[in-house]
Structure 1
Amino acid sequence: ADGTSLVLTYDEALDQANPPAPGDFVVTVNGTPVPPTVVTVSGSTVTLTLPTPVENGDTVTVSYTDPTAGNDAAATQDLAGNDAASFTDSPVINTVPDTTAPLLQSAETSADGTSLVLTYDEALDQANPPAPGDFVVTVNGTPVPPTVVTVSGSTVTLTLPTPVENGDTVTVSYTDPTAGNDAAATQDLA
């Protein structure tokens, strides 16, 4: 599923001249039925046009009911007239891209003061953490560059070279070094 299109791919060429009816399919988005409005067949794919777009993160399923037993001129079928089997609540891969940048929710030091933990509102890319140089941390107005940056779930942990003491004033800034769906730059978060 990508926006208003849901594409079913079969293992052989299909009859394009006699596509199935929209009513032969049941599509649900987050548990709510979203009846397709148009069905087209091209090559080995059946494309269902949905009245409202699927959004990133939506859970989508699709069911198909062969309208008749045996061969039927208006069904999902191969070029020899063999009907495709019915199926129920098949999970759909949602390919709508995430275009919303993660938002910083909180920043706090670890109990021992050696780390600064930034928590975001969604899971982050753990395989490609930002570089320590993308962050500026100050303690009582003095720069304390992080030495290591790790990402786990929705948190970014900055390892500091010296521990933060109780009562210290700590700020952190982040500058996004690249284009894309990255977290927005921040300025002096206390």
Structure 2
Amino acid sequence: MYPFLSFRPKALIFYIFFVIGLSILFIHAKKIKEEPINVWSQATEADCAVVLTGAPGRIREGFELLQQKRIKKLIVSGVFKEATYTEVFPYWPYYNEINPDDVILEKRSQTTFGNAHQSVVLVESLKCQDVLLVTSQLHMARAYSIFRDVFPNTIEIKKLTLANSRSEQSIFDFALELVKSVFYTVFGLVNFVGL
């Protein structure tokens, strides 16, 4: 009589999960796209900054923060194991006011999740009360969420969101970030529920 009501139970379950999945993707896509770029609009200060490697310009912004004395310590997270200061930031000689002891190269992490876990140890050992998280607009929503889950509530995390670099502006990059964001949300829920 009503063909649209003659769904088989398996098909109905599939459609329900499909709609839920699309809704989750839409919510995460909106969250990524609406992350405000605030690098030019705020004169934010903190004890430490954690710069997440992965795109040009992020490390330079961290050095600018240190040079302007808006932070006391700079943690560059996700650096290649054999890298030196000048390989990580070739313009180092032009920042002669920066003390090399104020820059920590975190070389163990390979993912955003790893960045958070390795950085929290450094932040706590440096006794930082607040942290500037420096990354691009594309990456900030997921990075902030992961850092907020890993860091204790006693450490304030402030966002310093940079415009996406040219290497982060393709639809493929957006789709990849969207998949990672959904994965970490599901992974976080699984850990929260204890499955």
Instruction: Please identify the structure whose Cα radius of gyration is greater.
Output: 1
Instruction: Please tell me the TM-score bracket, short chain as reference.
Output: under 0.3
Relative contact order (C-alpha < 8 Å, sep 6+): which is higher? 2
Q: Which structure is higher in strand share?
A: 1
State TM-score, norm by structure 1.
0.25
